[in-house]
Chain A
Amino acid sequence: MTALLLCAGILLLALWALPRLYDRFWDKGLDCKISFTQDYAVEDEDSALLEVITNDKLLPLPALEISFHMDRRLQFGAGENASLSDQTYRRDVFAAAMRQKITRTLDFNCAGRGYFRINEAGLAAQDLFLTRKYVGSRPQNTEFYVLPRPVPTGQIQIPYSKIMGAVLSRKRVCDDPFEFGGLREYSRGDPMKYINWKATARAGRLLTNLHESTLSQQVVIAIDMEGGGLQGDFLTEAGVRAACSLAERLLAEGVELSLYSNGGDVRTGGDWKLEGVSGAGSTLFLKKKLACLGLGTGLPPVCGFLPQGLGPDGLLVLVSRSQRAEVAEAFSQAVGQGRGVRVVPCGAEHGELPQFSRIDTVWMEF
């Protein structure tokens, strides 16, 4: 009888001690890393998210739940393991045995432009008999850009021609010191700073750098991010795509750009603006910046964000779905003595806008 009581005591002690061990050590050596496999992708493309769980201890975790918030514009499968509200709350279950590393790849579709960041992942582990639940979190640091989808060439051609027509009419070509175009032999009068000394040493004669030219005129693009309703949001997003495609082509032509918007920067939380961008190499930077452009309702008028004193050589492009008269008037005032092109993303049918002498209006149907 004594032996039986002793054995029963040992069993009870073991059953009592095991949960205490988990209380104390459940998160020892436990790590969770969430990271996007790419830095960026374009709208409608697929990408993937990596979840890596490390359990570096002798206690196995039969059910370990990892949860994190993610914007609903990143769509995982058919809404699998996610509850939807204004954000997606995603929950994945892992089973981590002792000293194991588990890597799971989750494919998702980039359904909308944006900047996405995961700051924290929640952990909920259960003990060996699934009786107790332990909750914790791990900081994360991963970000992802969904760049605006390019607008088809045929659709962008008309506004692009209008803008380029206005630009070329005031064309003054300058060298762009940041755009390397090739080498040529030194000739008297070339600035000393353009001599390529390495190439000179290799060739045995003086060689100077050739630079691509840039158009001296600066183009300012203003993007109105006032949303509202399904159609409003869709057209505003279409406007961002149009602005992105226009900017990309203008940069490729060597035009220096400045962009302003009334939508905030979702990455920094401040105002969104991009000043003095030039060169085709800046395209990715520009697109990433556009990915951070926030959409909203009740935003202040976009023309209030434009710089003062646009000269007679200035060209201002407004991309706005708004057809209100006050927007047109504010834009006319902002253009002043310069030139303006107004790009209006719209549906199949659209009304008439008040005409101003120095402003061209282009309708873009989406």
Chain B
Amino acid sequence: MKEKINLLHANGRTLLLRGLARLHCGLLAAMLFATVFALLPAVSLSVRTGPVEAFLRGLLLAVPAALCYYAIKRLKALWQFLLAALGLCALSWLLAGHWGGAALMAVMCLFRVRVRLQEEEEGPIASFFDQPAYPALAVFALAFLASAVAGLAVLQRLSLVGAALYLLVCLGFHGLSRLDGYLVLNQGMRNLPARRIQRIAGTAVAAVVLAGAVLLLPPAFTSECGVRIQLPSHTQTGKTPAQRAEEDAPLRLNQEQPPDFLGELEGPSWQIPPIVSYLFFGLIGTGTAVVVILGVVRFFKDFSRSYTDSRDLVQRLTKEERDQSAALEGVHKRPAFWDRSPSAAVRRRYRRAVLKSGKEPPQRALTPAEVEAWAGLREERLHQLYEKARYGPEPCTAEEAREAGRLG
């Protein structure tokens, strides 16, 4: 496996980033095709391809997009790339099933050539095709708007699912690229615990993507998709609300029907028996649950054991060490949030005054007088009130708290 990765001149992390970048191209192409193929019947043009099929086949454009990336990087002469571009356009046409795929690929190839020519003069340039961007979510928003205006429930669902997927791709890509950037920046550093940094930050990114998937995808798939926008021209026809309701009735009926993605595709009349589907999804669900549980157990086990990594001895803190540290923390503990006594108010005022004067927190070992000298705070009365609140045998009075408020 490592040898194959070496052939691509990248490590696993970089390959994952490249995969996400290609997925971003695929998702955008898919949404574009689905919108076009959903809207064409609305302008009385008959098409054989449905929006779901167009969406799924559009996702396949991630493959020629990846080939295009490697072609522009590896082929030395431009004429070689142009020849390859022809092949990529043909492949895109085959995968998409219409000329739109070839056209998109041609545009991508042209941009790639332009970027390469620029790179020869200006150095590396980040291409739009190589990094998902949050503003691109506008494509899905536009598709959603179009579906709401035209009353296309299927397109609406596709736009929601596509937007959720694209958001997850963005989250994953940007999280990983920050991690990759940090590790590349510090790769010359000796004793860099790259594996542990990757494990902690990578797990966090994966957890966010997983949480996002769990939170967004099920509601996106099961959404009723009944959002509809009434254009103003529609109200000027002079029809009563009852008449409009009658006209909208077929659309609502259409929306209330359960989503049937497979129905959009032309396929054999024989269908898989429901028991097989239940069994399949049951197995997938159980397998996923087992993998997640094992992963979580392994994750926490890794963090709880002691081991040596390069020159680092990594140990789990013992209870004694934690108690000792907690005792030290207790010495410097601030008054609790719910402590509304005058003494606590004085201490809060004093802290705010010190932070305001000193701009940053002082060292913990300093006495109040040293802290004030460090921060340049010259309020003798505030000092006295603080000492009374912090160390005095008697608590501060409400009047003293008010006085501290005026001083601080």
Q: Which residue from A99, A106, A129, A136 sits with its C-beta under 8 Å from B204?
A: A129
Q: Mark A97-141, 1 if CB is under 8 A from B, else 0.
A: 111111111100000000000000000001011110000110100
Query: In whole angstroms, what is the CA distance A54 to B223 when docked?
Result: 47
Main secondary structure on chain A at its contact with chain B?
Answer: mixed
B39 to chain A, nearest CB (A): 21
Closest residue of B by beta carbon distance from A14: B211
For the complex, is A199 an interface residue (Cβ under 8 Å from B)?
Answer: no
Indicate if A60 sits at the interface (CB-CB under 8 A). yes
Known contacts A63-B182, A97-B200, A81 near B160 by CB under 8 Å: no
> Interface size (A, Cβ < 8 Å)?
44
Contact partners of B182 in chain A: CB under 8 A: 63, 126, 130
- Contact in complex: B212, A11 (CB < 8 Å): yes
Q: Which of B192, B201, B225, B361 has the most CB of A within 10 A?
A: B201
Chain B, range 215-255, C-beta contacts under 8 Å to A: 215-216, 219-220, 222-227
In this complex, what residue of B is CB-closest to A101?
B315
B303 touches A98 (CB 8 A): yes
Measured between alpha carbons, how far is A29 from B325 in the docked complex, in Å?
A: 7
Least CB distance, A71 to chain B, in whole angstroms:
20
Mask, A329-341, CB within 8 Å of B = 1, is 0000000000000
Tell yes or no: A158 within 8 A of B by CB.
no
- Asked whether any CB of chain A lies closer than 8 Å to the CB of B2, the reply is no
Contact residues, A195-234 vs B (CB, 8 A): none
Does residue B265 face the partner (Cβ distance < 8 Å to A)? no
Q: Are A103 and B313 in contact (CB under 8 A)?
A: yes
Q: Which residue of B lies closest to A7 (CB)?
A: B215
User: B190 contacts which chain A residues (CB < 8 A)?
Assistant: 77, 80-81
A3 interface residue (CB < 8 Å to B): yes
Complex: A81 Cα to B190 Cα, angstroms: 6
CB–CB A131/B312 < 8 A: no
**A32 CB, nearest partner CB in chain B, Å:** 13
Q: Are B196 and A129 in contact (CB under 8 A)?
A: no
Query: What is the CB-to-nearest-CB distance from B226 to chain A, in angstroms, rounded to a whole number?
Result: 7
* Chain B proximity of A152: nearest CB distance (Å): 35
User: How far is the CB of B57 from the nearest CB of chain A, in Å?
Assistant: 25
Residues of A within 8 A of B315 (CB): 100-103
Q: Which residues of B contact A186 (CB under 8 A)?
A: none
A100 engages B178 (CB within 8 Å): no
Shortest distance in angstroms between A76's beta carbon and chain B's nearest beta carbon?
9
Contacts of B211 in A (CB 8 A): 11, 14
Nearest Cβ on chain B to A248's Cβ, whole angstroms: 36
**B191 in the interface, Cβ–Cβ < 8 Å?**
yes
Residues from chain A with a CB closer than 8 A to the CB of B179 are 130
* B-contacting residues, A37-94, CB 8 Å: 54, 56, 60, 62-63, 77, 80-81, 91-94
B304-320 CB contact bits vs A (8 Å, 1 = yes)?
00000001111111000
Is B336 interfacial (CB-CB < 8 Å)?
A: no
- Asked if A8 lies at the interface with its beta carbon under 8 angstroms from chain B, I say yes
Give, as a whole number of angstroms, the nearest-CB distance from B112 to chain A. Answer: 30
From A3, A4, A101, residue with most partner B Cβ within 10 Å:
A4
A3 touches B312 (CB 8 A): no
Contacts of A1 in B (CB 8 A): 223-227
B160's closest neighbor in chain A, by CB? Answer: A4
How far, in angstroms, from A71 to B406 measured CA to CA in the complex? 48
Chain A neighbourhood of B208, CB < 8 A: 15, 129
Say whether B3 faces chain A, with CB atoms less than 8 Å apart.
no
- Contact of A31 with B by CB under 8 A: yes
A95 within 8 A of B: yes
Q: Chain A residues near B196 (CB, 8 Å)? A: 62, 95, 97
- Cβ B312 vs Cβ A129 within 8 A: no
Q: Report whether B201 and A129 are in contact in the complex, using a CB–CB cutoff of 8 Å.
A: yes
Query: Counting CB contacts under 8 A, is A10 at the interface?
Result: yes
Residue of A nearest to B181 (CB): A130
Whether the pair A54, B216 counts as a contact (CB closer than 8 A) is no
B339 at the interface (CB under 8 A from A): no
Residues of B within 8 A of A14 (CB): 211
Query: Given A3-B219, A62-B200 in contact, is the A29-B329 Cβ separation under 8 Å?
Result: yes
Complex interface residues of chain B between 252 and 289 (CB less than 8 A to chain A): none
A94 proximity list for chain B (CB < 8 A): 193, 312
CB within 8 Å for A92 and B325 given contacts A97-B196, A102-B315: no
Q: Which residue of A lies closest to B363 (CB)?
A: A139
The yes or no answer to B97 lying at the interface (CB within 8 A) is: no
Contact with A along B321-338 (1 / 0, CB 8 A): 110011001000000000
Considering only CB atoms, which chain A residue lies closest to B192 in the complex?
A: A93
A56–B311 CB distance below 8 A: no
State whether B321 touches A93 (Cβ < 8 A).
Answer: no
Q: Quick one: which of A1-44 are within 8 Å of B by CB?
A: 1, 3-4, 6-8, 10-11, 14-15, 28-29, 31
Indicate which residue in A4, A93, A130 contacts B223 across the interface (CB closer than 8 Å): A4
CA distance A29 to B333 in the complex (A): 12
- Minimum CB–CB distance for B194 against chain A, Å: 9
Question: B317 touching A56 by the CB < 8 A rule?
Answer: yes
What is the distance, in angstroms, from B235's C-beta to the closest C-beta of chain A? 23
Known: A10-B215, A11-B212, A29-B325. A62 touches B314 (CB 8 A): no
Measured between beta carbons, the chain B residues less than 8 angstroms from A105 are: 311
CB distance from A96 to the nearest CB of B (A): 9
Contact between B322 and A56, CB atoms less than 8 A apart: yes
The 6 nearest A-B residue pairs measured at CB = A95-B196, A4-B219, A7-B215, A80-B190, A62-B200, A62-B201
A-B contact pairs, 25 of them (CB 8 A): A1-B224, A11-B211, A11-B216, A15-B208, A29-B325, A29-B329, A56-B325, A60-B200, A62-B197, A63-B201, A80-B190, A95-B193, A95-B196, A95-B197, A97-B196, A97-B200, A99-B303, A100-B317, A103-B312, A104-B311, A106-B311, A128-B201, A128-B204, A131-B178, A137-B363
A contact set with B: CB distance below 8 Å: 1, 3-4, 6-8, 10-11, 14-15, 28-29, 31, 54, 56, 60, 62-63, 77, 80-81, 91-95, 97-106, 126, 128-131, 136-137, 139
